[in-house]
Amino acid sequence: MFYLFGAFGMMIVLAVIRISKKQGQGRPSVASIGGVPNLFGVCVYAFLSHHSLPSLITPIRNKSKLYNLLAADYLLILLFYVLVSFTGIYAFQEIDDLYTLNVFQPDVCDE
């Protein structure tokens, strides 16, 4: 779990550094109908990320605060998605299918 948060954190920090140095190349349009097929792929990926929720819920004995726990979990996930998405959108001109290819290129993060 530490490695997952570490990877997300590094991607966010490196994109923010790029934006703060005025090296951000992203100029996103307000809306593009051509991006709808990619939206479905992202939604499927996001859904697959949540397949482990039943294994988190089952061991909990006192389920009275389960909704609060799930709400906190989903808010944390939303926060990471928003941070990764918006920093990537404004930092890079073209986003690769595998976002880490944008962030961890030697010529992009040369310092």
**How high is the pLDDT of residue 29?**
75
Q: For 102, how many CA atoms within 13 A lie in the half-sphere containing its CB? A: 23
Phi-psi region for residue 22, left (φ > 0), alpha (ψ -120 to 50) or beta? left
In a domain, 27, yes or no: no
Q: Does residue 102 lie within any of the structural domains?
A: yes
Global pTM reads 0.62
Tell me if 69 sits within 8 A of 1, measured CB to CB: no
- Answer yes or no: are the C-beta atoms of 84 and 11 closer than 8 Å: yes
Q: Is the pLDDT of residue 9 over 80?
A: yes
| Nearest-10 crossing angle of helices 66-91, 2-20 | 40
Q: Is residue 38 part of a domain?
A: no
Domain containing residue 64: 52-111
What are the structure tokens assigned to 46, written together? 């996001």
pLDDT category at 97 given cuts 50, 70, 90 is low
Q: For 49-84, write each residue's pLDDT tens digit.
A: 667 677 778 888 888 888 888 888 888 888 888 888
Residue 30 domain-assigned? no
- Distance separating alpha carbons of residues 93 and 32, to the nearest angstrom: 15
On whether residue 35 sits in a domain, the answer given is no
11 assigned to some structural domain? no
| Total domain count, the chain | 1
- Residue 22 included in any domain: no
pLDDT computed for residue 102 by the predictor: 61
User: Would you say residue 106 lies in a domain?
Assistant: yes
**Identity of the residue numbered 78:** L
